[in-house]
Amino acid sequence: MSYQQTAKHLQTIEHELKRLQMWSENRPSDMALASTAPFACDALPFEHWLQFIFLPKMQHLVEQQLPLPSKMAVAPMAHYVWAQQPATRDLILVLEMLDELLSGK
């Protein structure tokens, strides 16, 4: 598993969120961040889950060179959430590439 490739994908996800103006300067509440629902879908928009939960956890794993997930499927949720938003195509593509990288496809 390549920590360097993973880090590059994480940086691209952050860049795309910012480019699409989906990046937030306001941190969600601790209660929202503590959601146990998949993708915190009961408490956060998907882009906030990416920014405030997914990216920090993945960046920590990369920085500490801890085991990365071996099966991941974030892109299907992105397809579902942003199905009617063509501007998100590049963001979804990088999520697909990260899923494939970590799933060994």
In this predicted model, what pLDDT tens digit does every residue of 57-97 receive, in sequence order?
Answer: 999 999 999 999 999 999 999 999 999 999 999 999 999 99
Tell me how far apart the alpha carbons of residues 21 and 36 are, in angstroms, rounded to a whole number: 26
Whether pLDDT at 38 is above 80:
yes
Whether pLDDT at 16 is above 60:
yes
Taking the whole predicted model, whether its pTM rises above 0.85 is answered as yes
Per DSSP, 52 falls in state I
3-class secondary structure, 92: helix
Q: What is the pLDDT of residue 1?
A: 55
Q: What is the pLDDT of residue 104?
A: 80
CATH of 3-103, one of 1.10.300.10, 1.20.1440.40, 3.40.720.10, 3.40.50.1450: 1.20.1440.40
Q: What is the pLDDT of residue 57?
A: 97
* Other residues' Cβ atoms within 10 Å of the Cβ of residue 104: 8
Domain boundaries, given as residue ranges, for the chain: 3-103
